A and B are shown apart, each in its own frame.
Chain A
Amino acid sequence: DVKVTQSSRYLVKRTGEKVFLECVQDMDHENMFWYRQDPGLGLRLIYFSYDVKMKEKGDIPEGYSVSREKKERFSLILESASTNQTSMYLCASSPGQGGEQFFGPGTRLTVL
C-alpha cells in the first residue's frame, strides 16, 4: 500500500527555534512536495524536489528551506520559527511523470 509518512502529527515550538519536519515515502517516487494549509487559503506550495539533491521554490518559500539527501526523504526546515508559520504542513510525492500526488497525514505546527 502506498505510503507517505510525516515525523510528527503535532508539534509545538517557540519563536526563533529551528524546526525540522521530516517526510518519507516508500513508493520510489521522484517528486516530493511540501505544502502549508491555512483556513480559506487551500494548499500552498512551499518547495518541491524532482530528484535527490535537487530543489525548487514553490509559491511561498520565504522563511523555509528544504533538504533531499535520499530519494525517499524530503525535509522541511524552518531556520527561525515565527508565529506566522503556525499552520498545517502537508508532504506529498508523485512519480516522475507527474499526475496524482500522494499525501501524508500532515503535521500541525504551533509556534508560540
Chain B
Amino acid sequence: GENVGLHLPTLSVQEGDNSIINCAYSNSASDYFIWYKQESGKGPQFIIDIRSNMDKRQGQRVTVLLNKTVKHLSLQIAATQPGDSAVYFCAERTGTASKLTFGTGTRLQVTL
C-alpha cells in the first residue's frame, strides 16, 4: 500500500550491486518460508519459498538462505535493478497448514 514504507527499516543499494535482506522468524517449529515483494499501490507478490529441510534455494537473480539454528532467513538479490525497489516481507508457516505469519518488512531503495 502507499504508506507501507513508513517506519520501516530501509536498505539502500546502488544499481548493479547485490542486496541482502534479513529476517528473523519467531517459531522454531515453522516448516515453510516465503519472501514477498510489495510495490507501492500493489498487493504482495511471491518471490521465492523454501522448506525447512533445505538451507538454500535459488531462483532467477534471487537466493534464499535459511539458518534454522538462529532462526534467520535472508533474501539475496543479485545485480539489483531499479525495478527491485519495493518493500520485502518474509513469512513463515507453522502448524495449521494454511496460515502465514508475516514480518514487518524491509524497504529496498535502489539508487542510480
A94 near B98 with CB under 8 A, answer yes
Which of A58, A88, A98 makes the CB contact (< 8 A) with B93?
A: A98
How far does the Cβ of B112 sit from chain A's closest Cβ, in whole Å? Answer: 26
Q: How far is the CB of A84 from chain B (nearest CB, A)?
A: 15
Query: For this complex, into which size category does the number of interface residues on chain B fall?
Result: 20 to 34
Residues in A81-112 with C-beta less than 8 Å from chain B: 88, 90, 92, 94, 96-106, 108
A98 to B93, CA, bound (A): 9
Name B's A-contacting residues (CB within 8 A). Answer: 1-8, 32, 34, 36, 41-46, 49, 89, 91, 93, 97-100, 102-105
User: A residues bordering B, Cβ < 8 Å?
Assistant: 4, 31, 35, 37, 39-43, 45, 48, 50, 58, 88, 90, 92, 94, 96-106, 108
